[in-house]
Amino acid sequence: LRKNVDDFTGPRERSDLGFVTFDITADILNRKNVQTKQSYLNKMVFFLTCIHLQSIFDWNVKQLFVYLSVEYSTKKNALNQVVLWDKVILRGDNPRLFLKDMKSKYFFFDDGNGLKGNKNVTFTLSWNVVPNAGILPLVTGSGHVSVPFPDTYETTKSY
Amino acid sequence: GRAMDIFGDLRRMNKRQLYYQVLNFAMIVSSALMIWKGLIVVTGSESPIVVVLSGSMEPAFHRGDLLFLTNFHDNPIRAGEIVVFKVEGRDIPIVHRVIKIHEKENGDIKFLTKGDNNEVDDRGLYKDGQNWLEKKDVVGRARGFLPYVGMVTIIMNDYPKFKYALLAVMGAYVLLKRES
């Protein structure tokens, strides 16, 4: 689902605005081998797994900052990445995420009109490990979903 | 009493000893400066260690935490990274997360940042009319962190008298310390 509207969050030019809804099922604890599956229409179902050997929440992990980012390429820019949604998981919180029908937290504006007919828009889940003290690694979950965006704009408001 | 002893010490210390103490002090200061410059070169960042000044990245970082930065230019900026940047015309470095990047084939990149704990992105913080940040605005990328340690800097900033007292004590200690 995509519209072309004024990017009212920033530059005042017409840019493509993408709307996505998604489910996130993430078991950031397990090493189970899992695939990604795309449901129908705009819904994407993620099954993601942690690639570390042991439980990611050890004594030195204060929290995880988990975020869903989308990556795609357009004529104007060779690489675009937009963070659509994020969440903080503190040590002690349930590291298994079962979120359904989520809407993106942040507006998915392109810099220009590159979302129309874009064949390859890839969604990945990543997280930043925040220790009690020490190194701050950024980890990308294994498993990603690629979605083609439609060739036409939606003119009706249905978000 | 104690005060008279110190004055007695000072008078009895002959010139050579005084020069020796001053040189000792100068060496300590020079070594510290060399280590700092060395860090700047090795990390590629003009400010390799920064103190977190606000709560905009809570609960990850709190006021007073210390961050260690690197700024390698061939390391591309990607969404999700924590960057420290300066807005043109302002001296205060800001520590926030990159939430949007648009990079051209030749490597030119423009990106948007937001504090984890803020509702809105940083466009309100940028210069008037500025909508994106560029590589030149970046002081470094946060690679490691230590909690609380930077509080000393914040206290010294907020209470200058504390800073002078600390310097005076340090100076007196170095000048009067005897090597046995």
Structural domain harbouring B7: 1-43
**Active-site residue, B56 included:** yes
Co-location of B105 and B25 in the same domain: no
- Could you tell me the sign of the dihedral formed by the alpha carbons of A11, A14, A16, A20, in that order? positive
Co-location of B31 and B66 in the same domain: no
* Domains in chain B, number: 3
Q: If you search the block for the tokens 């689902």, which residue do you land on?
A: A1
A36-69: pLDDT as tens digits: 333 222 333 343 333 333 356 777 888 888 888 8
- Which residue in chain B is spatially nearest to A85 when comparing CA positions? B99
Instruction: Give the active site residue among B96, B116, B137, B158.
Output: B96
Co-location of B132 and B55 in the same domain: yes
Instruction: Give the active site residue among B56, B62, B73, B102.
Output: B56
**Active-site residue, B121 included:** no
Co-location of B170 and B131 in the same domain: no
User: What distances in angstroms separate CA A35 from CA A49, A122, A144, B76, one per listed residue?
Assistant: 9, 15, 9, 29
Co-location of B124 and B64 in the same domain: yes
Chain B residue numbers with beta carbons less than 8 Å from the beta carbon of A82 are 79, 99-100
Co-location of B74 and B154 in the same domain: no
Specify the DSSP class assigned to residue A91: B
Q: Where are the domains of chain A?
A: 21-147
Judge contact between B34 and B55, C-beta under 8 A: no
B20-29: pLDDT as tens digits: 888 888 898 8
pLDDT band at B35, cuts 50/70/90? very high
Mean pLDDT (chain B, rounded): 86
Co-location of B2 and B57 in the same domain: no
Buried b (16+ CB within 10 A) or exposed e, A115-148: bbebeebebbbbbbbbbeeeebebbebebbbebe
Is the ipTM above a cut-off of 0.90?
A: no
